[in-house]
Amino acid sequence: MSEPLLSIRNLRASVDDKEVLKGIDLSVAAGEVAAIMGPNGSGKSTLSNVLAGRDGYEVTDGEVRYDGQDLLAMEPEERAATGVFMAFQYPVEIPGVVNATFTRTALNAQRKARGESAIDAIDFLKRARATLGRLEMDEDFLRRDVNAGFSGGEKKRNEIFQMAMLEPRLAILDETDSGLDIDALRIVATGVNAMRNPERTLVVITHYQRLLEYVVPDSVHVLADGRIARSGDRELALELERAGYAAFQPA
């Protein structure tokens, strides 16, 4: 594979003065699907939030290069505009703002930041309809308020819908499989797989192996106690499924 699109070196980060990430090293190439697995409390969500630039996470050491840029120096919206997308574990409700408006505003904010022209409502709608079809989502979805009153599965599908519309280069999926029944999981996985291409990198963060049965990763990394404890291929995920995380838990 080519040069890594994302390269994390010795990343340390604290939340409320407690060190959660204790020196992460990880490289992911363009086109690669990397799964990050780990037990609860190992730092999975902290890693995704640090990569997306959320407040409240203090980076104390290390660096993150993304497409040749210093990712940590950028504001969250700048990261978004350069192609970093995070599918939230707990997507947020925004009452009174319909999905179509939200997604189009986001898309056009990113396009504007990149010096591209805005997408008009009609072109947007065409693309949105096609995307919704792939995700087996009703068109009514566009007229509903962002995540307000959505079921858990609908919220996760909405994240995948936004990802498909925003076409990121680096998508971080934070426990996208949590709370999904098997049908919803299949639909979400289909949506994710449709996004795979040689230019796009996916970082799939999950506790369980089952999403990886549908979204087959190129590499699997075990995050334990704030470090990458082991890296391997798909076999590693299956091994974790059989043996659990016991071997990686602090004594």
Partner 1 sequence: MTPLRETVETVERASGEYRYGFVTDIETERAPTGLNEEIVRFISAKKEEPEWLLEWRLKAFRMWLGLENREPRWANVHFPKIDFQEACYYAAPKQEGDGPASLDEVDPELLRTYEKLGIPLREQEVLAGVAGAGNVAVDAVFDSVSVATTFKDKLAEMGVIFCPISEAVRDHPELVRKYLGSVVPQGDNFYAALNSAVFSDGSFVYVPKGVQCPMELSTYFRINAQGTGQFERTLIIADEGSRVSYLEGCTAPQRDENQLHAAVVELVALKDAEIKYSTVQNWYPGDAEGKGGIYNFVTKRGACRGADSKISWTQVETGSAITWKYPSVLLQGDRSVGEFYSVAISNLRQQADTGTKMIHLGRDTRSTIISKGISAGRGQQTYRGLVRVQPKAGGARNFTQCDSLLIGDTCGGHTVPYIDVRHPGAEVAHEATTSRISDAQLFYCRQRGLDPEEAVSMIVNGFCRDVLQQLPMEFAVEAQKLLGISLEGAVG
Tell me which residues touch partner 1 (CB under 8 A).
Answer: 52-56, 75-77, 79-81, 85-86, 88, 90-97, 101-103, 105-107, 109-110, 113, 145-146, 162, 166
Q: Could you report how far apart the first and last alpha carbons of the chain are, in Å?
A: 37
- In sign, the C-alpha dihedral spanning 216, 222, 227, 232 is negative
In the numeric block, the tokens 């703002």 are attached to 97
CB 146 to partner 1: min, Å: 8
Q: What is the C-alpha separation between 97 and 101, in angstroms, rounded?
A: 7
80 vs 211, beta carbon nearer partner 1: 80
82 vs 231, beta carbon nearer partner 1: 82
CB 45 to partner 1: min, Å: 13
Q: What is the C-alpha separation between 237 and 100, in angstroms, rounded?
A: 37
CB 97 to partner 1: min, Å: 4
Side chain identity at 244, as an amino acid letter?
G
88 vs 150, beta carbon nearer partner 1: 88
3 vs 90, beta carbon nearer partner 1: 90
CB 57 to partner 1: min, Å: 11
Q: What are phi and psi of 235, to 5 degrees?
A: -55, -35
> Residue 13 carries which DSSP code?
E
CB 38 to partner 1: min, Å: 22
CB 77 to partner 1: min, Å: 5
In the numeric block, the tokens 């404890």 are attached to 229
CB 122 to partner 1: min, Å: 16
The gap from C-alpha 229 to its chain's centroid, in whole angstroms, comes to 21
The gap from C-alpha 70 to its chain's centroid, in whole angstroms, comes to 19
Are 227 and 39 contacting, i.e. CB atoms less than 8 angstroms apart? no
Are 82 and 109 contacting, i.e. CB atoms less than 8 angstroms apart? no
90 vs 194, beta carbon nearer partner 1: 90
CA 180, 181, 182, 183: dihedral to nearest 10 degrees? -90
